[in-house]
Structure 1
Amino acid sequence: MNFFRIIILLFLFAPSSKILFFSQQRKTSIEYLDLQVKSKNTNSKELQKLKDFQNKKIVSLIIFLIILLFFLLYFSYQNNKLKQKIKRKDIKQKILLNVINSGIDTQEIERKKIASFLHDNINSLLSSAGLHLNTFTTQNNIESEEIRKTKVILGEAHDLLRDMSHNLVPSLLVRFGLIYALEDLCERNSNSSINFEFSSSISIDKRYVEKFEMKIYFIVSELCNNIIKHSHAQKATLFLKENNNQFYIKIRDYGKGFDTKKINEVEGFGLNRIRARVKKFKGTINVTSKVNQGTSIKIKIPLPH
């Protein structure tokens, strides 16, 4: 009896247990689906956040590149502007140097012409006039105060013209060369107020091409004149040498000097002319000076071939 009861109970409760099992399994499936949906939503949100972050990075990078490009363009513009300004300044300087050099060349040509004219013509005429006058007075045995004064006047005129001719183009430069003429220049510029000392490692007999000698002579002459006029020095030195196909000039005075920071204010046209002459020969000039300690000027010029 009991056995039959158990069988009946199992038969009655078996469908309900199956239903419970399937309902539980369905619930589990639904939860799993919910989790998958939630996971997908979470992943999509994270992906969206990642995309937004990447978009922000890209936008920031683009903005940075635009700013960088702007600064590069600005600096390039400023650089080009500065280059153009420097170029214009160089052009102006070259024009100024050409004008100065053109004036110097013209002046030197005129100097040579006038010196030649004075020496070959006027001096010759005066010498001839004096010779004829001496011959006439000797032959006729005539002596008078007027004739004596005339001879003196002719002699003075001859000496003045000779000195003028020498100042325009020194005869020593033409006849004996640059080194000899510069030594003579130092001697002639020395007096009780200032003494020019000359020294050279170059032979006094050394000759260069005429144009080179003329240029160097007038450069040194201009420097000596500047020392006499502006330095208030009692002593100056001039040194010459050759080395590696370069001609070196060093001239120093022991005068009042000046502040090299204000060189543009004090140099004047004389030093500008010297700079122009040196640059025309593709040389260099260096000026150093201290207040109350004097000034030193070094010039280096390539020797002519």
Structure 2
Amino acid sequence: MNPPIVSLSYVNCRNAVKLSFLLVLLVIFTSCGSRDTSGNSVDMKNVQKTVPNENLFNEIHKLIYENPAEARAKAFQILDSLDKNDQVSRIRLLKHAGSSYVFETNYSEAIKYYNEALSIAEETGLYIEVANINNNLGVISNEIGNYKTAYIHFIEALKNYDLAKNQDKKTGTYNNIGLVYYHLKNYTKALDYFDKALDSTVQPKDTILIASILNNIALCYSSDDKPDLALKFIDRSIKISEKINNQYGLCISHQLMGSIYLKLNQTEKAFDAFSVSIDIAREKEWSYQLAVSRLGNAKVLLDMNKAEEAFKVAYEVLDMAKAQNSLVLKSDAHEALSDIFEKVGDFRNSMLQYREYTKTQEEIINQTVIHQVYDVELTHLNQLNKMQQMELEKKKLIISKKNSLLFFLSLVFILLLFGIWLAYLNHRHRQKVKFQTTIIELTEKKSNAALEAEIQERKRIGEELHDSLGYLLSLAGLHASVLYKRKDIAEEKRKELLESLMKSIEDAFDEVRNISHNLAPSLLSERGLKGALKNITDRVNQSTKLSMSFDTFGLEENLDNLIENTLFRTIQEIVNNTIKHADASKLFLQITQGNNEITLMAEDNGKGFNFDEIKKHSSYGLSHMKSRIENLNGTMFIDSNQNRGTIISILIPLQ
């Protein structure tokens, strides 16, 4: 089996991590505001007696690179003796404490101190510090893979830089957002933000940051398989770093250059690039970057078939990783050793190293999750603190409002009493006027009521003449028409029709007499609604022209007189209209009485009519039917179309 080609995924991942740590350093640089300094040395014994000056902050800042724990101890010592009113110095020292934990990859503690500094900065309205700290928190979130939170922090930083009217600092934030998109493998979007960071209109003064951005652009092009462009931007970064003696930038640039040459199988150039990075890191005592560069060299040695030297370097890096307690370095060292063992054919040890690599990766993932959870927890606690502060301010505001409200209510109460007294006087006057007006209106209403009663009575008599006499005369006309047109009718049938005709005429006389005495219909008063309906049905059925039938369900004898009279008149109108206009051969009626309503349904098989046309030309009979029903709060529905008959549904409430 041929020796496998060494995977470059390690190199690319390592580059991303290295540049992220570079960004942390840059943020720390840009987060330190410049002040006037006096003196060249600081006596730590006199710290308790003096306010921290810029030299002291610079000393702590420098120590963060070389010895994070010692830098943190000095920051805490100053914090203990710091004047409570010196909030700016407190913020800067808390930031240094957080940054020292970042260099030790202890992100939980870093987040804790950054958030404490952020709370003070927000309370005091220091927009520039709020922006700087959000930048640092975004870097940590980006490093632990919480890209959404990182993006939110960076956007918050941009907003506060705008509030602070500091456009130069936005350059670093654009660079950081570009790194978020780089980690998400959206290289196009990442390059857009890197280009925005280099925009000439911003004119950034921080050349260290420019070198970092150029390295990041090179990283994107390298990951996007465009090594020529990547090397071009690395050369630009190196020139800037050499000009300003930016040793850290040079170290990172040569690491990245070595990775690209290794990817291109140009091992000699890769070895030279990593060697330069190693020399810089060793001279500056940057143990982490030294380990990264040496591990890159181990990869180069492996490609040059110098397995023994590669083994030696990889094991030394593993020892350095354990000494630094760096899981990332430890993981990368185990992966490199696994690749080396595999290439020399020792698959058993290769598998053992790969297991260690996998185990370390799981620890990194677990720590990442813990950091993300801790970040969420701290954010939640900060929100709770803000809510508590807002609640206290709200209570103070409520108390102030209550005092104002009490004064206002007292004033309103006095004015209200005065207003009530005026209203009472006005009410008495209006009552007197209203009483006189009521007497006049009652007199007018009595006159109008008498006139209205006369009009309504005439209207009622007219309606009853139409409904009652019209029906009886229509029935008589029906019988007379049959007698006149049918000459072949049997004598017995003729006699029966004549008797029915005479009976209709007699009933018409009786109805006229009843109307004249303002009485209910005679047929209804004698037999009730059901009996009256049967009488009507029998009379209609005596003619061969129309067959009529009916059903009743739950109909009671003691039905309300007004409802009973209304239903009877309605039935008469329906029968009258069917005989006169429907040309129907069958008519069916159904009356159903429930607990709360009574329903009348009538259906014929006549020629029907267009209801819209009838409404336009107004029907005297139908309008009176509807008027009677609505006077009892009832409803009437008519369903009719030409050549398919007519259905009339009436519902009257009983209560």
* TM-score, length-scaled by structure 1: 0.46
* TM-score, length-scaled by structure 2: 0.23
Structure that is richer in strand per residue: 1
Higher relative contact order (CA 8 A, sep 6+): 1
